Chain A
């Protein structure tokens, strides 16, 4: 059972294949196959900034790197990217970017609304640098362009997987903070384009009217045995989904 401890241990056996990476210019030999994040820890760095969920959801570990004799700039998440020999890397744990303040109930879902809060999107020159910077491989320029012309649905859907790492904003020559624009657009989409659920409305009313009070109070007072019986005899809905 405790054999699963093997999964936790860093692979530090002898004769391990090692690669050389350059952390902010300093060379370190690390085991091949480690993620950039684990490799930096192996080398002795202890993260305060630059580590969050460690699973690709939070954007804390945004990293940029190059290889020797290659001009191309690569962007990645340190927690999800294995090291390669010759990587020259640094992290960007924070990007300054202004977020507009608004009352979502007072913002209309139009291009002019979005431009009012983020006028800099009109400076977009379609250079596509933001798209190239995105570690989630989103079509960033496309969603900014969609926002520019008020195509809220397209912008919301294209930007959905954004983890707000900030690399797009860091690289944009027009100084746009793409992920803040996308956040506003998605809220507008969900609030004004998705219809409210009638079932939810109905159920809420029932609860407010106390329809479930008595039966729930009864459950609360039951003994473990009585509850067990009810629990065991639940009819399970067919696994299908209400689509």
Chain B
């Protein structure tokens, strides 16, 4: 029985190449009677928050998303929250929302509303949250721990935050220098969190397109650091980080012959497995480094 319905923005990646992130996320929340209601008719968020604050064009895409959330919330009536799953979408939409709700930006907001004469005005009431915050504030780590069905106690998992969940501070879901939220999740499923120094080091992001060598170097460092700290696997919350950390290992192996691969998981996949959902939901066959053996080897009675 659904107790809470929240407006939800998927973003482009989760509908094309990374559907497994979304599927596991939706099913996990359902266990706790929360339904993610996808916005009707949404558009790409624009991926990066525009730093040129006078080019209002770049605020249009996230502004439309906020208006969709605003209107959907009027229908489903529970709250004024918009949940996002992808860190980049979260960061872009939340930073835009900060601009569009600040009093000193009244003229910008009016301009945007006037330009988008095909939409109702954005009233400035939507609160953008990342899925992790919903887990922490609306479900609770204890609740998660109570519902764990599989024994993952032998797994050592490194929490990797990347950039966009923690920077800039106006959007940080946790303390940027000493975040705990991903470790809490790892603990709640009964696994052992492995802290490592490069937990918020940038993975290289879009440099993977124009300058892949940079990315290969960075993730070599990040992955090696995690492994040296004892991790069996690394969790992330961003499709681009996932791509870099997982797929780029192919090239790291080519460059560093001693490098041994390490599986990357979305935190929702870890939760899904811990909570007893069907492992096929995770679609591990889509990963470059297949994490399946982790759960076969380590599962004990």
Question: Looking across the interface, which residue of chain B has its beta carbon closest to that of A110?
Answer: B16
- Distance in angstroms from A119 CB to nearest chain B CB is 11
Query: Contact flags (1/0) for A95-132 with B, using CB distance below 8 Å?
Result: 00000000000000011100000000000111110011
Contacts of A124 in B (CB 8 A): 43-44, 61
- Distance in angstroms from A168 CB to nearest chain B CB is 14
Contacts of A125 in B (CB 8 A): 46, 57-58, 60-61
**Would you give 5 A-B contacts (Cβ < 8 Å), ordered by A?**
A112-B16, A141-B43, A145-B42, A149-B16, A149-B44
Q: Choose one: A110, A128, A149, A173; the contact of B116 (CB below 8 Å).
A: A128
Question: Looking across the interface, which residue of chain B has its beta carbon closest to that of A142?
Answer: B41
Query: Contact flags (1/0) for B34-57 with A, using CB distance below 8 Å?
Result: 000000011110100000000001
Q: Which 6 residue pairs are nearest across A and B when measured between Cβ atoms?
A: A126-B61, A150-B16, A149-B12, A145-B43, A149-B15, A126-B43
Bound Cα distance from A148 to B17, whole angstroms: 12
Contacts of B57 in A (CB 8 A): 125, 127, 173
Residues of A within 8 A of B (CB): 110-112, 124-128, 131-132, 141-142, 145, 148-151, 173
Query: Contact flags (1/0) for B274-295 with A, using CB distance below 8 Å?
Result: 0000000000000000000000
**B118 at the binding interface (Cβ < 8 Å):** yes
**B64 at the binding interface (Cβ < 8 Å):** yes
Contacts of A126 in B (CB 8 A): 43-44, 46, 60-61, 64
Contacts of B44 in A (CB 8 A): 124, 126, 145, 148-149
> How many B residues face the partner with a CB closer than 8 A?
17
Cβ of A151 and Cβ of B118 under 8 Å apart? no
Tell me the dominant secondary structure on chain B's binding face: loop
Q: Choose one: A111, A131, A132, A173; the contact of B16 (CB below 8 Å).
A: A111
Cβ of A128 and Cβ of B118 under 8 Å apart? yes
Question: Looking across the interface, which residue of chain A has its beta carbon closest to that of B58?
Answer: A125
Tell me the dominant secondary structure on chain A's binding face: loop
Cβ of B43 and Cβ of A150 under 8 Å apart? no
Bound Cα distance from A141 to B41, whole angstroms: 10
Cβ of A148 and Cβ of B12 under 8 Å apart? yes
Cβ of B43 and Cβ of A111 under 8 Å apart? no
Contacts of A148 in B (CB 8 A): 12, 44
Cβ of B60 and Cβ of A132 under 8 Å apart? no
Known interface pairs A111-B12, A125-B60, A128-B60; 15 further A-B residue pairs with C-beta atoms within 8 A, sorted by A's residue number: A111-B17, A112-B16, A112-B17, A124-B44, A125-B57, A126-B44, A126-B60, A128-B116, A128-B118, A132-B118, A145-B43, A145-B44, A148-B12, A149-B16, A151-B15
Contacts of B60 in A (CB 8 A): 125-128
Question: Looking across the interface, which residue of chain A has its beta carbon closest to that of B13?
Answer: A149
Bound Cα distance from A149 to B10, whole angstroms: 11
Question: Looking across the interface, which residue of chain B has its beta carbon closest to that of A141?
Answer: B43
Q: Which of A127, A131, A149 has the most CB atoms of chain B within a 10 A radius of its CB?
A: A149
Bound Cα distance from A150 to B64, whole angstroms: 20
Bound Cα distance from A131 to B64, whole angstroms: 14
Question: Looking across the interface, which residue of chain A has its beta carbon closest to that of B117?
Answer: A132
Q: Which of B43, B57, B64 has the most CB atoms of chain A within a 10 A radius of its CB?
A: B43
Bound Cα distance from A151 to B38, whole angstroms: 15
Bound Cα distance from A128 to B16, whole angstroms: 23
Question: Looking across the interface, which residue of chain B has its beta carbon closest to that of A139?
Answer: B41
Bound Cα distance from A124 to B118, whole angstroms: 17
Query: Contact flags (1/0) for B8-31 with A, using CB distance below 8 Å?
Result: 000010011100000000000000
Cβ of A131 and Cβ of B118 under 8 Å apart? yes
Question: Looking across the interface, which residue of chain B has its beta carbon closest to that of A144?
Answer: B43
Query: Contact flags (1/0) for B57-71 with A, using CB distance below 8 Å?
Result: 110110010000000
Bound Cα distance from A125 to B61, whole angstroms: 6
Contacts of B61 in A (CB 8 A): 124-126
- Distance in angstroms from B29 CB to nearest chain A CB is 22
Query: Contact flags (1/0) for B76-108 with A, using CB distance below 8 Å?
Result: 000000000000000000000000000000000
Bound Cα distance from A106 to B44, whole angstroms: 27
Query: Contact flags (1/0) for B210-254 with A, using CB distance below 8 Å?
Result: 000000000000000000000000000000000000000000000
Bound Cα distance from A125 to B15, whole angstroms: 19
Contacts of B42 in A (CB 8 A): 145
Question: Looking across the interface, which residue of chain B has its beta carbon closest to that of A111?
Answer: B16
